[in-house]
Amino acid sequence: AASLGISGQVAAAERALALAQRCADAPYFVARVRAEILTKLGRGDEALVVLETELAHLPTNDAEAMVEVVESRVANLRNQLGIRDD
């Protein structure tokens, strides 16, 4: 098998995380890591969808969910993408 370059490896990691995210018992961090990878791949719009979707399902009473971190990342991505809250 041909070896993947670094960008191919990163894209493959994102696809693996997308699959992991579909699991009912996926850890909260999967969406955060996947969104970071999407951002690094120049796919900020997809990263925003991942985080906003995850945020809608995060429990506010579980510190491991890191709701504040996800909210901050969503706000930063919206700003970077020029999306305004009107």
Q: Which residue has the higher pLDDT, 9 or 51?
A: 51
Using the structure block, give the residue that is written with the tokens 């906003």. 52
Q: Other CB atoms closer than 10 Å to residue 16's CB: what's the count?
A: 13
> Is 9 a residue whose pLDDT tops 60?
yes
Cα gap 47→55, rounded to integer Å = 12
**21, 34 Cβ separation under 8 angstroms:** yes
Q: What pLDDT score does 86 carry?
A: 63
Q: What pLDDT score does 2 carry?
A: 54
Its pTM stands at: 0.86
| Tens of pLDDT, residues 48-80 | 999 999 999 999 999 999 999 999 999 999 999
**62, 43 Cβ separation under 8 angstroms:** no
> What is the mean predicted confidence (pLDDT) over 25-53?
95
